[in-house]
Amino acid sequence: MTGEWMRTARLYVRLLGAQLRAAAQYKADFLVMIFAAVLSQGVGLIFLAALFARVPHLDGWSFWLVALMYAMVTVAEGIGSLLFEGTWRLAAMVNSGELDYLLVRPYPVALQLMSSAVGFNGLGNLVLGTAMIVVALCYAPLQWSPLQGLILVLLAGSAVVVKLAMNLATNAASFWLQGRNPVVAYAMHQVGELARYPLGIYPVGLRVVLTTVVPFAFTSYYPVSYLADGVDATIGLLTPAVAVACVFIAIWVFRRGLRRYESAGS
Amino acid sequence: MSSASEPVIRAAGLTKVFRSPDKAPGLSGSLRHLVRPRHTNRAAVNSVDLTIGRGEAVAYVGANGAGKSTTVKLLAGILIPSSGTVRVAGVDPHRDRLVNARQIGVLFGQRSQLWWDLTVRDSLEVLRDLYGVSRTQFTERLDEFDEVLGLGKLLPVVARRLSLGQRMRADLAATFLHGPAIVYLDEPTIGLDIAAKDSVRMFLRQRVAAGTTILMTSHDLRDIEDVCRRLIIIDDGRIIFDGDLGRAKDAYARQRQLSVQVDAPVDLAALRAGLPEAQVEQGASTRELVVVFDRFAHRATEVLDALTRQVDVVDFRLQEPQIEDVVRRVYRGELLVLPPQGVDA
Ligand SMILES: Nc1ncnc2c1ncn2[C@@H]1O[C@H](COP(=O)(O)OP(=O)(O)OP(=O)(O)O)[C@@H](O)[C@H]1O
Ligand SMILES: [Mg+2]
């Protein structure tokens, strides 16, 4: 059993490595993408700083805690681009019938898909996001203990998993839509951006949606809420459970979708 | 036929229905479709029964759109049948996808399985890891393939720089790399020049000789004659012929054609009287004759004898029945039912 898991993980790295090798042929791309990522994340940060120059709190949250939420989404996106960028190719692959060969290889289709591309912009996001988290943790008014540190790691990891699972599930909509572009996933990705700010600033209906239907609030707001002992601290503790549920749902949706796959005429 | 060996591929009532949207042209048609979608169902593969024995080499032939690729995808587990069943070496290819993947190889001539931006060697190495082929076996197989496919020169080349023929040879190596027992080849010679086709055919013959079960589609019937012993013809989703290649020729391509050059004009009527079963026609000039005859009704020497009794034959050329003729007639709808197959064929 563990042997099988090891093989799966090793091959994932292998497939991703192949993409890395392939992408290394385009060095200019590499630098431009990292630069673009840092720029777009930086713009958001500048906005955040400008906002807090005017108001001391956002729905009761101080600058460093909001920065922490913001950075968690940045890191999750960075990991998504760097290690799971292939997810975004599903629409094109379903549309053109390129999934054919993946289906005849002895390795899970979803993992072959996710490892089929590397997004170097992720590196920019990851570095910038991590730096922001470190700085924010230093300045934010948090109580620290070893246990708290452990929980932080667990919650942060779960938050990333929620984001990745949502990516997979929303991209799997392409099995039904069959268009060339992942329109649903793009739209949901934009919805996910809302999670960069405290949930309380949104109307109650939207809060419910972001907690249940598309639980992006678990990618940042709820975990930070737990750490800062905010209003929704207990819900924050549920993040790992939500992550597990999201993974199961994503796999289920993907499998259902795969059964609809019809290849292409030629 | 397959009676000698155990079946490895078995399909019963295999059917795949595609649902396509009925859209009136233009924007208004698209909008109307959004409001009230209408669809047409079309069976691309219709109640196909297939039994293929271990080690058989089967040609799967049919006109464009007949359902060949769809059948291959059903057998490979890429598509789920709308109805009917498939078993390949004891497993349901779609349900037991991972088990199935280890025992089959697939090649779609239209589409490469190589990594676009990697060298051929890198692509093969990735596949080696995916299938868990040992390094020694990997080297052995590459050496073996190299003889016919000329892989050596291709290994350091990035896939996107390969010509079509080079790409196909590299793809063939990729398909057979893990030593699959069953291989599906969908148009493995599409777009290749004569030399490249020859090396592909020779390679496939070797694989068949080594015991691989092969099902192959092609529009080039030379491929089929070179590689396969059994012919299956599909038309509009249904199998309309399944039998030995030689037997198909005997049954349907009985017409031989003798082209003769003579030294003086001939009396056609007299000739025709002497060869009642044959068709005797004037050729391009008065010095040329074309005799078409059933090879079971007349022997070629008989026809020649009848000619030489009247005229001096300067030169002649005998044209054997071609598998093309069989298939062409099938496509034209002339041969719809096959004669009953002998039990001990
Ligand atoms: N993914 C698909 N969706 C809808 N219809 C399809 C699909 N794939 C094939 N078809 C239809 O099914 C029929 C059979 O197609 P298929 O590709 O199996 O033919 P083929 O025998 O391989 O033809 P060719 O010699 O042109 O490759 C065609 O009418 C085609 O339009
Ligand atoms: Mg085809």
B253/A12: higher pLDDT: A12
Q: B46: CA distance to ligand 2 center in Å?
A: 16
Q: Write the DSSP string, B31-84.
A: HHHHHS--EEEEEEEEEEEEEEETT-EEEEE-STTSSHHHHHHHHHTSS--SEE
3-state class of B291 per DSSP? strand
What pLDDT is attached to residue B336? 54
pLDDT at position B284: 83
For range A233-239, the mean pLDDT: 93
What integer is the mean pLDDT of A244-256?
Answer: 98
Amino acid at B94: H
What predicted TM-score, i.e. pTM, was given to this entire model?
Answer: 0.88
Mutation for B interface: A103, A111, A175, A263, most B CBs within 10 A = A103
Q: Which fold has domain B7-250?
A: Rossmann fold (3.40.50)
Residue B234 and residue B327 in contact, taking contact as beta carbons nearer than 8 Å = no
What local confidence, expressed as pLDDT, does residue B342 receive? 41
pLDDT at position A71 is: 95
Q: Which among A11, A22, A99 has the least Cβ separation from residue B130? A: A11
CA distances from A199 to A170, A190, A235, B96, B144 (A): 22, 15, 12, 44, 64
Q: Tally C-beta pairs within 8 A across A and B.
A: 67
B46 interfaces chain A, CB cutoff of 8 Å:
no
Residue type, A112: Q
Nearest to B67 by CA among B86, B84, B88, B46: B46
* B115 near A CB under 8 A: yes
Of B78, B123, B131, the CB nearest to A103: B78
Instruction: List pocket residues of ligand 1, CB cut-off 6 Å.
Output: A 262-265; B 18, 20, 44, 62, 64-70
Specify the higher pLDDT residue, A44 or B179.
B179
Domain boundary assignment for chain B: 7-250, 254-319
Residue B91, CA atoms < 13 Å, CB-side half-sphere: 15
C-alpha distance from B119 to closest chain A C-alpha (Å): 9
Cα–Cα distance between B330 and B321 in angstroms, integer?
Answer: 15
Cross-chain Cβ contact A101/B113 below 8 Å: yes
Touching check for B315 and chain A: CB below 8 Å?
no
Flag whether residue B102 sits within 8 Å of chain A, measured between CB atoms.
yes
Question: Of A99, A103, A106, which is closest to B131 when you measure between CB atoms?
Answer: A106
B170 alpha carbon, distance to own chain's centre: 20
Report helix, strand or coil for A217: helix
Radius of gyration of chain B (CA): 25
pLDDT at A92 over 50: yes
Tens digit of each residue's pLDDT (9 = 90 or more) over A179-214 = 899 999 999 999 999 999 999 999 999 999 999 999
For residue A143, the SS3 value is: coil
What is the model's pLDDT at position B302? Answer: 84
Question: A176 touching B, CB under 8 A?
Answer: no
**Residue A78, C-beta contacts closer than 8 angstroms, at least 6 positions apart:** A37, A122, A123, A124, A125, A126, A127, A128, A129
Which atom of ligand 1 lies closest to the CA of B68?
21
Across the interface, of A18, A106, A263, the residue whose CB is closest to B78 is A263
Question: Cβ of B131 under 8 Å from any chain A Cβ?
Answer: yes
Cβ-contact B188, B207 below 8 angstroms: no
The pair of structure tokens assigned to A119 is 């997004």
**For residues A176 and A29, which has the higher predicted lDDT (pLDDT)?**
A176
Q: What are phi and psi of B147, to 5 degrees?
A: -55, -45
Ligand 1 atom nearest to CA at A97: 1
A262 neighbourhood in chain B, CB within 8 Å = 18, 79
CB contact under 8 A, A22 and B115: yes
Contact B291, B278 (CB under 8 A): yes
Identify the nearest ligand to the CA of B63 by its number.
1
What b/e readout covers B60-91, taking b as 16+ CB neighbours within 10 angstroms? bbbbeebbbbbbbbbbbbbbbbbebebbbbeb
Residue of chain A whose alpha carbon sits nearest to that of B158? A22
Please measure the distance between the N-terminal and C-terminal CA atoms of chain A and give it in whole angstroms: 39
CB-based contacts of A224, cutoff 8 Å, min separation 6: A65, A68, A69, A72, A230, A236
Q: How far is CA A131 from CA A71, A74, B68, B217, in A?
A: 9, 11, 56, 57
Lowest mean pLDDT among A33-47, A81-95, B331-345: B331-345
Mean pLDDT, residues A12-19 taken together: 96
Closest-CA residue of chain B to A96: B111
Q: pLDDT for B251-273, tens place per residue?
A: 777 788 888 888 887 788 888 88
Q: What is the CATH number of domain B254-319?
A: 3.30.2130.10
Per the CB < 8 A criterion, the answer to whether A23 and B117 are in contact is: yes
- Residue B338 has a pLDDT of 53
CA distance B93 to chain A (A): 9
pLDDT of residue B208: 96
Q: Whose CA is nearest to atom 7 of ligand 1?
A: A265
A9: its two tokens: 């993980």
Q: Which residues contact A139 (CB under 8 A, 6 or more apart)?
A: A64
- Residue A266: predicted pLDDT: 67
Interface test with B, best of A100, A109, A111, A112 (most B CBs within 10 A): A100
Helix (H, G, I), strand (E, B) or coil at A179: coil
Shortest distance, CA A192 to any CA of chain B (angstroms): 28
Higher-pLDDT residue of A54 and A116 is: A116
Q: Does B130 touch chain A (CB under 8 A)?
A: yes
Interface membership of B181 toward A (CB under 8 Å): no
More confident residue, A113 or B341: A113
Is the distance from CB of A88 to CB of A185 less than 8 angstroms? yes
Q: Which has the closest alpha carbon to B87: B74, B78, B98?
A: B74
Beta bridge partners of B53: B7
Joined tokens for residue A228: 């800062």
Of residues B21 and A115, the one with the higher pLDDT is: A115
Q: Which of the residue ranges A109-118, A253-262, B175-184, B189-198 would you say has the lowest mean pLDDT? A: B189-198
Partner-chain contact A261 B79, CB within 8 Å = yes
**Ligand lying closest to the C-alpha of residue A100:** 1
Asked if residue A266 lies in contact with residue B44, where contact means CB atoms within 8 angstroms, the answer is no
> What is the interface pTM, i.e. ipTM, of the complex?
0.90
Query: For residues A150 and B332, which has the higher predicted lDDT (pLDDT)?
Result: A150
Low-confidence ranges of chain B (pLDDT < 50): 1-3, 340-345
**Core vs surface per residue B215-246: b (16+ CB within 10 A) or e:** bbbbebbbbbbbbbebbbbbbbbbbbbbbbbe
Q: Please check the confidence at residue A260 and state whether its pLDDT lies above 90.
A: yes
Helix (H, G, I), strand (E, B), or coil: what is residue B104?
strand
Question: Are B18 and A262 a contacting pair at CB < 8 A?
Answer: yes
Give the mean model confidence (pLDDT) for residues A89-107: 96
Chain A hits for B122, CB-CB cut-off 8 Å, are: 18, 21
* Whether the Cβ atoms of residue B307 and residue B212 lie closer than 8 Å to each other: no
For ligand 2, the distance from its centroid to the CA atom of residue B219, given in whole angstroms, is 10
